[in-house]
Amino acid sequence: MTGIIGGLPDSILQFTYLVAGVLFIQGLRDMTHPRTATRGNKISSGGMFLAVVVTILWFEVLSPLVLGAGLLVGGAIGVWLAVTVETTEMPQLVGLFNGFGGGASALVAGAELIDVMGSGNSLSVGLASTAAIAGIIGAVTFWGSLVAAGKLHGVVGDSPVSETVGHGIKILFLSAAVVAGLFLIVRPDIFGSAPLAAWIPSYWVLVAAASILGIFLVVPIGGADMPVVIALLNSYSGLAAATTGFVLNNTVLIIAGTLVGASGLILTVIMCESMNRSLTNVLFGGLGIGDRDSEDMEDIYEGKITESSAEEIVMLMETAQRVVIVPGYGMAVAQAQHAVAELVELLDENGVDVEFGIHPVAGRMPGHMNALLAEADVPYDKMRELEEVNPTFSQTDLVIVTGANDVVNPKANTDDSSPISGMPVLNVAEAQSVAVNKRSLSPGFSGIPNPLFAKDNTSMLFGDAKESMQELVNQYKDATS
């Protein structure tokens, strides 16, 4: 059962896997600097290429046609998705890719079980248990990711399932999956001395139960928390790959899968910290959605909102020495990043010290806003992180907030009972003046009003982000030329 180069000693295959593993690690190391990151991505994909090619050449491939067709179909779909995606839709695409990785792991484990059965070999406890784990994690990842991607894309709504019923269903199906897994591992004597074939269906029962579990895990979680869920599922898909590595006794699967597991887990923790929420709270709590703060909202806003115009904001821009722009997802949805980038360029040319203040969870993924701005050719060194920019607001003449809401809400610092209490926010109110560009006074993801809008030094520029920013660009050009 060996392929073209399969006659060579096994240590050569193992050595190649080691090289691939090193390439993955070096690729990640290069991601620690924007300058070397592109190279890192190439190194990592080189590792993948090496590992795949050596595997194909090594093992006897009974059906090169089937294999080639699979690679071609998958490759074509992957290229098509990657080329057509909008930067704003990146999170749901990453979620979707994630799901496919998990799904593949579950299928591989199943196919391996069937293969063992077909070849008449005995099924070891190790193989059976790792297959069961890969099946559960893979199926949960697949369905959970599909739901998460659907929510981010707006095709799956938030759920009507009550919390108690939801928890009941989750426990029921998790138990079902675990029991089915135990049956596969232990194969108790209830069918007499049944061959493995009689036990294979229990693997598919396990996959079915885990699939339902995956759906019910994600359905009750609010749309705002989807990035955390996707990072967590990313981690799961890595762990599923690592587990498959245990099943197939394949070292590079273990190394690569573990790296992904670690990266997903770290990103999950970072996102939870940026929102000052525990993982348990994200998975089982959820931010308040609805109108419970509606009266409060009138109290805060009534008679205290200063509406402004592009002319007035341009006047502030003309006298400003330092301007900070705080972008939010609203800016990205309106595709206003190009107008914003042009505005920054103009300010820069006129000798104004201008920077972006970027909240870690602005956008829909950690670092998503940076990717959106990079797309509009914003210089990398103008993007400042929260800890860096916060101390500078007191020396800032004008802050322009566009399409952001919760990330600049002072309630996080002042109101202990607020759902966003303790979440690190951009303290824009410390600046001389603040211009907030927003379509209306409607609350953001967290569903709470924002006292920033009612502050004396805040003026509101109502309207679509793209139109408003273009208006600012045009008027500023006229004023300064």
Partner 1 sequence: MTFVENLTLFVLAAFVGYEIITKIPTNLHTPLMSGANAISGITLLGSVVVAGSGSTTIATVLGFLAVVMATINVIGGYLVSHFMLDQFSHGGRN
Measured from the CB atom, the residue of 98 and 450 that comes closer to partner 1 is 98
CA 52, CA 247: separation in Å to the nearest integer?
A: 18
Measured from the CB atom, the residue of 5 and 66 that comes closer to partner 1 is 66
Q: Which of 182, 201, 185 is nearest to 127 (CA)?
A: 185
Measured from the CB atom, the residue of 45 and 442 that comes closer to partner 1 is 45
CA 32, CA 24: separation in Å to the nearest integer?
A: 13
- The answer to whether the CB of 259 falls within 8 A of the CB of 238 is yes
Measured from the CB atom, the residue of 88 and 475 that comes closer to partner 1 is 88
CA 148, CA 44: separation in Å to the nearest integer?
A: 27
203 contact partners, CB below 8 Å, separation of at least 6: 109, 110, 113, 131, 132, 135, 180, 184
386 contact partners, CB below 8 Å, separation of at least 6: 357, 358, 359, 360, 424, 426
Measured from the CB atom, the residue of 77 and 165 that comes closer to partner 1 is 77
Q: How far is the CB of 206 from partner 1 (least distance, A)?
A: 15
Q: How far is the CB of 467 from partner 1 (least distance, A)?
A: 24
Phi, psi at residue 437, to the nearest 5°?
-100, 120
What residue spans of 85-199 are helical by DSSP H? 90-118, 125-153, 163-186
Edge-to-edge strands, sheet with 398-402: 383-385, 353-358, 322-327, 398-402, 433-438, 458-462
- The answer to whether the CB of 144 falls within 8 A of the CB of 215 is yes
Q: How far is the CB of 455 from partner 1 (least distance, A)?
A: 28
User: Residue 335, by phi and psi: left (phi above 0), alpha (psi -120 to 50) or beta?
Assistant: left
Give the SS3 label for residue 346.
Answer: helix
Measured from the CB atom, the residue of 285 and 367 that comes closer to partner 1 is 367
DSSP 2: B
Q: How far is the CB of 236 from partner 1 (least distance, A)?
A: 9
Counting other chains too, the contacts that 170-175 makes at CB distance below 8 Å and 24 or more residues apart are 170/213, 170/216, 170/217, 173/209, 173/210, 173/212, 173/213, 173/216, 174/209, 174/213
Measured from the CB atom, the residue of 132 and 373 that comes closer to partner 1 is 373
CA 371, CA 40: separation in Å to the nearest integer?
A: 17
Give the SS3 label for residue 88.
Answer: helix
Measured from the CB atom, the residue of 107 and 283 that comes closer to partner 1 is 107
Q: How far is the CB of 301 from partner 1 (least distance, A)?
A: 32
Q: Which residue in this structure is represented by tokens 């926010």?
A: 425
Measured from the CB atom, the residue of 85 and 176 that comes closer to partner 1 is 85
Q: How far is the CB of 274 from partner 1 (least distance, A)?
A: 9
- As a dihedral over the C-alpha atoms of residue 420, residue 424, residue 429, residue 431, rounded to 10 degrees, the angle is -170
Please calculate the CA angle 213-214-215 and round it to the nearest 5 degrees: 90
Per the structure block, which two tokens stand in for 13?
Answer: 């295959």
- The answer to whether the CB of 382 falls within 8 A of the CB of 343 is no
What single letter denotes the amino acid at residue 368?
H
Q: Which residues pair with 398 in a beta bridge?
A: 323, 433
Q: How far is the CB of 12 from partner 1 (least distance, A)?
A: 16
Q: How far is the CB of 112 from partner 1 (least distance, A)?
A: 6
CA 159, CA 470: separation in Å to the nearest integer?
A: 38
406 is catalytic: yes
CA 392, CA 51: separation in Å to the nearest integer?
A: 48
List the catalytic residue out of 406, 416, 464, 478.
Answer: 406
Q: How far is the CB of 325 from partner 1 (least distance, A)?
A: 15
Catalytic residues: 406
